[in-house]
Amino acid sequence: MENMVSIYLYGKKYEVPSNLTIMGAMEYAGYQLVRGCGCRNGFCGACATIYRIKGDRELKVCLACQTKVEDNMYIATLPFFPLVKEVYDIEKIKPTEQIMMQLYPEIYACIGCNACTKACTQGLNVMQYIAYAQRGEYEKCAEESFDCVMCGVCSSRCPAGISHPQVALLARRLNGKYLAPACGHLEDRVREIENGDFKELLEGLMQKPISEMKELYNNREIEK
């Protein structure tokens, strides 16, 4: 039993190897993970987790796939958090301060406690990008929130009930649709795909053996 630690999953005690992540420890303990696990590399945000170490009053948050177990760790996962997602047509709304006030008025109830930033599993300055959204500075909000994985942990800690990831997503959509510079070569490529210019090439690739596909991939020309 060397290098084993005691953890509590939903209140039940287990002995697990100390080098496991929380997600790995759950599987080691016999849990079959069919929800709350996606990429397993910290990019999908599906494994939001809250935990507390025995004797420590602080409630901590993390992604289960990235965080190693600790001795006397009390764990509960949040595979889904009920974020408020407003319905809108990106073709009909504009990047004005009023649209954020109309769709997500709760952001103006922010009390500046910074609990969202402290809770962020990606280390983002969440309170700052909400401030940008309040002022209609969608380019800055989009940039500040770019690495959000929408795990919902920030919102779970917010006393104002703000759905931070959805606010950020709206800002990024507004920025991409109306504010960011047009990407001409991307538009040309989409047009080529829609015209079927690559259909014959793709069908040819699909007939190749896996070994040849790997060789083509490893020796592909990478655009600089």
CATH number of the domain that residue 69 is part of: 3.10.20.30
Two tokens at 3? 């290098």
Q: Is residue 88 part of a domain?
A: no
Q: What is the pTM of this model?
A: 0.78
End-of-domain residue from the set 77, 108, 124 = 77
User: Residues 71, 9: one domain?
Assistant: yes
Exposed, middle or buried by CB within 10 Å (0-12, 13-18, 19+), for 31? middle
**Host domain of residue 202:** 194-218
Q: Is residue 89 part of a domain?
A: no
CB proximity list for 97: less than 8 A, separation 6 or greater: 134, 135, 136
Q: Is residue 188 part of a domain?
A: no
The pLDDT score that the predictor gives to residue 223 is 75
CA distances from 206 to 42, 202, 217, 220 (A): 31, 6, 13, 16
Phi-psi region of 207 (alpha: psi -120 to 50; beta: other; left: phi over 0): alpha
Place 115 in a pLDDT band, splitting at 50, 70 and 90: very high
Place 2 in a pLDDT band, splitting at 50, 70 and 90: low
Q: Is residue 13 part of a domain?
A: yes
Q: Is residue 83 part of a domain?
A: no
How many structural domains are present in the chain? 3
The pLDDT score that the predictor gives to residue 135 is 96
Q: Is residue 116 part of a domain?
A: yes
The pLDDT score that the predictor gives to residue 146 is 96
| Cβ 73 vs Cβ 62: under 8 Å | no
64-111 confidence digits (pLDDT tens): 999 999 999 999 998 778 899 999 999 999 999 899 999 999 999 999
Q: Is residue 91 part of a domain?
A: no
Sheet holding 12-17, edge to edge: 12-17, 4-9, 73-77, 48-53, 60-63
